[in-house]
Amino acid sequence: MKPGRITGALGRILLGFGALVLLFAAYQLWGTNIFEARSQAHLRQQFDAELHHRRLPPTQPSPSSSTTTEAGGTATSVPGATASPVVAPPEGRPLGIIEIPKIGVDKVIVQGTGTGDLQEGPGHYVSTALPGQLGNVAIAGHRTTYGAPFYNLDVLVPGDLIVLTTTWGTFSYAVTASEVVAPTDLSPLAPTTQATLTLTTCTPRFSASQRLVVVAALRSNPVPGGPKPSPPRTSLAGAELRDLDAADWVPALLWGLAVAVVASAVWLLGRRRQGRNRWLAYGAGAVFVLVVLFFFFSAVSPLLPASY
């Protein structure tokens, strides 16, 4: 083969690889939002069902009521919620709703901060207190991918409101401080003697080199109970790898094979056409390639760290 042909073939391979990387970056920034939106809709259905299950009959008065606080806020019980003990849900299940009016956040909180958990929404560190309890309630969330729930977390200032709604009550927190720490600094997760809320996310945007931490204080009297002991973490959530086995790679490999087959078919089809028909074939085929690529990226993404 002539050197010119070798150089041309190598150039096309590099261009194709570069295009693939750019498309994957686009998927991470925008395509992951589709996955997160679907997960959020499912989680909200689960949470609404659990909330409905815990409601009392209409004729029976609610055992709890709004409590006036020292700071002038209230801890409002969910209408019709029971007074059953506060129990953390299993990992991967909805814990409640987090609302941050100033930055337009209204998301379902997932129990757990593993890679898969954070891809579905903000995740609750299982070793910390539950919403409304005395102690430190810690929640992590993505900054730029998977719905980017904490994209504008840096604009929060002291006094801004954060509301957590659970099946045992609705609790208002007021921001008190924020800071940037290293991912290995576990002090934001340390137990506290006051009822506090800690939000963590990667910073700066599009990087997992540091963590932005926002701290808020409960504006009402805390509910009884506290977190159960849990093995200590080695770092704050984000850019974490999970244990993978061979089965985890199967979907990615199958969709990768599908991409290769579809792309090859489109190329061969285009080669058999002439002039304008060739480009029409390539254009129509590109649509099918992009669809298969979307599913390929969806299969590859869970294999990567939580990222940012």
Name the residues annotated as catalytic.
142, 202
The CA distance from 140 to 201, in Å, is 6
Q: How many residues does the chain have?
A: 308
CB count in 10 Å sphere of residue 206: 14
Q: Cα separation of 171 and 182, whole Å?
A: 29
- The Cα-based distances of 183 to 172, 203, 208 in angstroms read 27, 10, 8
**Chain-centroid distance, C-alpha 100:** 16
Tokens coding 131: 């919403």
**204 preceded by cis ω (within 30°)?**
yes
Instruction: Work out whether the CA dihedral 107, 108, 113, 119 comes out positive or negative.
Output: negative
* Residue 235, both tokens: 């770092």
Structure tokens at 291: 């669809």
